[in-house]
Amino acid sequence: MKSFLWEPAARADLRKLDRETAMRILLTLTRYGETGEGDVKMLTDRDGLYRLRVGKQTLTAHRMLAQMLTDRDGLYRLRVGKWRIFFDLDSPSTVRIHGVDNRGQAY
């Protein structure tokens, strides 16, 4: 079973959500911690380029610029409906949660 460490920003993200959504997220995290099951994907770049959305525009940025603008590279994401939980693995048994975000605003 995995243990979870919540960054302060991730705790704040979870507190902003309605109770039902927060409980779905916590139940999904519990299932992932116990069984390793869930829609998990490692976030990586493609060809050294990132696609960034700024308002209605989509920009293509090189990796160095994108890393200055976002801190998601190298993290994993766990999908819970339209919500994404961003985390990394401190050790095989410890998950550090960095944020919870709506899919439309997460990437």
**For 2-11, 65-74, 93-102, which range has the lowest pLDDT when averaged over its residues?**
65-74
Q: Which range scores top for mean pLDDT: 17-31, 52-66, 72-86, 92-106?
A: 17-31
Indicate which CATH number applies to the domain containing 28.
3.30.2310.20
Is 33 inside any structural domain? yes
For residues 65-78, average pLDDT:
60
The answer to whether residues 58 and 49 touch, using CB atoms and an 8 Å cutoff, is no
**What is the number of structural domains in the chain?**
1
Is 9 inside any structural domain? yes
Is 53 inside any structural domain? no
Is 77 inside any structural domain? yes
Percent helix, percent strand, percent coil in the chain, to nearest 5: 35, 40, 25
CA distance 21 to 44: 27
Is 63 inside any structural domain? no
Is 65 inside any structural domain? no
For residues 42-51, average pLDDT:
59
CA distance 89 to 87: 7
Neighbours of 11 (CB within 10 A): 13
Q: Would you state the pLDDT for residue 12?
A: 94
Q: Own/partner pairs for 60-66, CB < 8 Å, 24+ apart?
A: none
pTM of the model as a whole: 0.71
Is 52 inside any structural domain? no
Q: Would you state the pLDDT for residue 62?
A: 45
Q: Which domain holds residue 24?
A: 3-43+72-106
Is 32 inside any structural domain? yes
